[in-house]
Each structure stands twice: as structure tokens, then as C-alpha cells.
Amino acid sequence: MVTDPPPPMPPNGEPPRRRRSEPPQPGGGRSSRWRAILSYTGGIILILVGVVFGLIAYRMITTGDSFAKSASHYVPVYVPPPATVFGKDRIYIVLLGIDFNYDDKGMPYSKGARSDTIMVAGLDFPTRSLKLISVLRDSEAIVNGHDTKINEAYSDGGVKLADSVIGEFLGMPKNPAGGPYFDRYVVVNSNGLKDFVNAIGGIDVPVAQQMDYDDNWGNLHIHFKPGMHHMNGYDAMAYTRFRHDACSDPCRTKRQQQVIHITMAKLKANKFNDLLHIGQLIGALNKNVMTNLTFDEEKSLAWAFKDANTADLSKAETIGYVDTKDTRYGGEVLIPDEAQKAKLVADLLGPYGNVTPPPQTALQSVRPSAVHVIVQNGSGISGLAGTVSAKLEKLGYVVDSVGNADTFGYDTTQIRPASKVPYVGERVRADLGVPTAAVAPATDATPGPRTLVTVIVGRDYATAAGSALPTASAAPLR
């Protein structure tokens, strides 16, 4: 099947824009300084995938069809790979989170909003991996010739000026044709998290400390006692905005990540919830997101990255600062750590994953008897995890447990090392004999002294092993 090429670039160098809603209008104004949607923007791809898989799961249960047959009703038989759709192996996206201001009657409006969340994402298609950099909103930058805060770029000139200022701040390579620094943009307003949590019926969040704060102007009221709380959208938004404790912004960032992890886990685990609230899910996205990604581009990205690790998508390296100073136009600004910034940007622009195969001597240095493995069936094929477990044990690995993954929708086997032992993931992949398996970056979260690796078995294992693919049941066995 031949797909249409990406649309041509217009004379101004910007890709064609598709508005999901009326865009936030640039201008000058007051910001309530909220960054609770930092991880939400990074998780947009997984949210779209969750909606699709909710429909597929419902069809599998009601009709008894296999995963592949059910998926064919909602996803085209052939989805062009991102490299074909975008015409390149990697793209860079600028992600902006903006807040509402409030008028004298307490009504919200977006005119004059600043980009209080600024992130840059690199999506690498050959390795199906993602890297994120977060920029502090008060970082020093030159905006329209003025020394001020970087978050003023959006309020002064919208996406176009924000692209230019953020690209220059990072030292990104500019488009040879004189276009934008970034291939695409995504702008999310502050209702994004609130509306989405409401759409999935709320979330259960463990609160670690007493939290009390009231801001009548910003319409923010936070009152939580320690313990488990079932939070609606407003509660979750307020919880992630709280920063009036000992560590302020760092603790707020941790709460933001905690909420997005809980939200994404519920999306993956509770397929019926996705189905029952699908209209609200789509409505929450349409109301709160503006992007120039086309529908075909979104579809291609969602399908290519559907096996991505949720935890990886909610992490971001933040460019720190070394000092502060007062400026005429921006007040107190943060002077960025230039050495750290250069390192993070070089990593963003550099190779992703293991592009070249490791040498055999490096693989042989990993002793299977020292590696503990958790095997999970993510394929929907009964008994496949047990088959993999038996193979690994025969090769000398220590299998700690065998079970089912969070979903049976994994086409690609995932190998996720928890400790940074060199090449341990690559050794497991080589011994499994599945060259298509994705080796994730080490999480460095090994419990105790053990070297631990989680293997989520995808359908590609059966293909690589030459096995016949039986019809998936509604509840496949390990």
C-alpha cells in the first residue's frame, strides 16, 4: 500500500495546523504558575492508545474474537510507520502547558497565558524510544530583544515565537529552509488533567502529609489529610499544584508524576472504564489540546509507540540553574546551568538506545546465573510466558516469577532491566532469539543486590520462534 507523503511546508516554514479547539491567544498577562500537566503532555500518545484498546477489549469480550480480528475493526490493516509519514527517522516536538487567567468576575480566560510548562521531546522511530527535557519557566532568555523569562515567549508571540526562543535557548539545529526549530507542537491548557481525571471516574491517591492552602483569586482550595483519597478532577489538579511544604517545587513535581502514573495505570488496567467514558475522554482531549499533528501522524505515532513504558513517558530531565538575577522586563530570572544544558541537549540530539549491536565479548561477560528475571505474558497467547520462562531457566537464568502483563496488547517483546549492569538487557534479548525485542533504559530500581530484568513477552516472540499463533482467549494463561 502506498501512503500519501507528508504535506508540503507552507512559505512561512510552519507545518499545517490542525486545531482541536480555539487556540489559546497570546498576549501579556498574569499567570497562576501551574505546571501540573507536565506529565500529561508527555502521555498524550498513550491516552489515545488507551481509548482504542478500550474498544478492542470490549469487542473481544462481547464477540469472542481474537485480538487481531477485533483490532482490525478499529485500526486499519496497515498503519504507515512514522518514518514514512514524517519523512525522517526522528522528530522533535515542543510541548507547552498554559494556564488560565481569571477576570474580576472569576471567569477563566486564556488570553495572555504564559507557558508555565515547557518541555521538548525527541521521538526516535528506529529504536521506538523517547527523550524529554524540561525547561524551568523562569529561565533567562531573550524574548523580542528583552532579557526576561522564557515563559513570556508564548504570551508575546504564541507558538511561533515560543518555538524560536526555546530553540535558540537550547541551541537546537534550525530547519535548513528557515522554518521552525521543532517539527511539531502540542499546547495543553490547565483543564487538561482535571477534565481527563473526571472522564475516567476519578483516581485513588495516597496522601502523605496534611495539606492546607487557599487562593481565592486563583480559585484554588487545597485541604487533604494523610491517607488514601478518591480524587475527582479538581482534587487531583489541586493536589498537583500544592507547593507550600518544605521542599516546594521539587515535591510538587513528584506529586505531578505520582498522579499521572496513577492515571495511566488506571487507563491500562480498567478497560471498561475507558469504554464507559470514551465520549468524555475524547471530549477532554478536544477541548484542552491544540496541535499541528495531523490525524494520520497521531495514528502512526500511537500505533508505533503503543508498547512504550508508561514510566518512561512521564520522566523528564530538567535544566537546572546556577544563580538568579534581576532584569528590567522579567524581574528575577534563573541563570541556567550551561554545562548541564549542553549535556542534556547533546543527549537529546545524539543516538537513542543501542543503535549498533554490542560486541559478543560484552554479551558473554554477563553471567545468566547472576540475573533474576520476571516473565510476563503480554501477547495474549496462552502459555507463552511459561515457554519463555523454561527457556531462560535452561540457559541458567533465575526466574523469580511468571504471570500476566498489564495488557495482552504487546506486539513487541519488552526487556526492562532494573539495574545498570552493562548489556544485561541485550544479553537476555540475544538468548531469547528475538531481534525485534525492545531493550528499555535501566530504571536503577533493583531491590537489594540482585540484577533484575522484567521480560514482557510480545507476539513477536511466537513469530521469531516459528510457533503457530493460536486464537487468544479472553483471559490467556501464563
Q: Please report the pLDDT score of residue 126 as a whole number.
A: 75
Neighbouring-strand partners of residue 130 = 123
Whether 363 has a pLDDT exceeding 80, the answer reads yes
**Cell 532491566, residue?**
417
Q: Please report the pLDDT score of residue 248 as a whole number.
A: 62
Q: Please report the pLDDT score of residue 257 as a whole number.
A: 66
Handedness of CA 71, 74, 80, 82 (dihedral sign): negative
Q: Please report the pLDDT score of residue 255 as a whole number.
A: 77
Residue predicted with more confidence, 317 or 135: 135
**Cell 471498561, residue?**
272
Whether 112 has a pLDDT exceeding 70, the answer reads no
Length of the chain: 478
Report percent pLDDT > 90 for the chain: 24
68-72, 102-106, 174-178, 355-359: segment of lowest average pLDDT? 102-106
Q: Please report the pLDDT score of residue 377 as a whole number.
A: 93
Q: Please report the pLDDT score of residue 65 as a whole number.
A: 61
- Closest among 92, 93, 83, 42 to 350, alpha carbons compared: 92
- Whole-angstrom CA distances from 398 to 18, 127, 357, 412 are 51, 28, 25, 23
- Whole-angstrom CA distances from 5 to 2, 30, 85, 109 are 9, 42, 6, 38
Neighbouring-strand partners of residue 214 = 221
**Cell numbers representing residue 364 in the block:** 558473554
Rank 69-78, 338-347, 359-368 by mean pLDDT and report only the highest.
338-347
Task: Give residue 429's pLDDT band: very low, low, confident or very high (50, 70, 90).
Answer: very high
CB atoms within 10 A of CB 222: 18
Cα gap 379→384, rounded to integer Å? 8
- Closest among 455, 449, 439, 442 to 404, alpha carbons compared: 455
Q: Please report the pLDDT score of residue 471 as a whole number.
A: 41
Neighbouring-strand partners of residue 141 = 148
> Which residues are CB-contacts of 224 (< 8 A; sequence separation ≥ 6)?
207, 210, 211, 239
For 110-241, list the strands marked E by DSSP: 115-124, 129-135, 140-143, 146-149, 184-189, 203-207, 211-215, 220-224, 227-231
31-45, 179-193, 386-400: segment of lowest average pLDDT? 31-45
Task: Give residue 56's pLDDT band: very low, low, confident or very high (50, 70, 90).
Answer: low
CA 330 to chain centre: 31
Whether 337 has a pLDDT exceeding 90, the answer reads yes
68-77, 78-87, 459-468: segment of lowest average pLDDT? 68-77
User: How close are the terminal C-alpha atoms of the chain, in Å?
Assistant: 36
Cα gap 418→408, rounded to integer Å? 22
DSSP letter assigned to residue 370 = G
How would DSSP label each residue in 65-81?
Answer: --HHHHHTTTS-S----
Task: Give residue 308's pLDDT band: very low, low, confident or very high (50, 70, 90).
Answer: low
**Cell numbers representing residue 140 in the block:** 533567562
pTM of the model: 0.61
Q: Determine the average pLDDT of the residues in 383-408.
A: 92
Q: Determine the average pLDDT of the residues in 263-288.
A: 62
**Cell 489529610, residue?**
225
- Give all domains of the chain, ordered by start, each with its CATH number: 38-349 (3.40.630.190), 360-464 (3.30.70)
Neighbouring-strand partners of residue 97 = 117, 188
Whether 348 has a pLDDT exceeding 60, the answer reads yes
- Closest among 144, 160, 136, 195 to 341, alpha carbons compared: 136
**Cell 508524576, residue?**
257
pLDDT in tens, 206-261: 988 888 877 765 567 788 898 899 999 888 888 877 767 766 665 766 677 678 77
Q: Determine the average pLDDT of the residues in 7-22.
A: 49
CB atoms within 10 A of CB 315: 16
Cα gap 321→341, rounded to integer Å? 9
3-state secondary structure 389-403: HHHHHHCCCEEEEEE
Q: Are 93 and 180 in contact (CB under 8 A)?
A: no
Q: Determine the average pLDDT of the residues in 189-195.
A: 79
Whether 68 has a pLDDT exceeding 60, the answer reads no
Q: Please report the pLDDT score of residue 366 as a whole number.
A: 92
25-29, 189-193, 416-420: segment of lowest average pLDDT? 25-29
Average pLDDT, the chain: 76
Q: Which amino acid, one-letter code, is at 123?
A: L
**Cell numbers representing residue 340 in the block:** 548541564
Q: Please report the pLDDT score of residue 2 as a whole number.
A: 38
Report percent pLDDT > 70 for the chain: 65
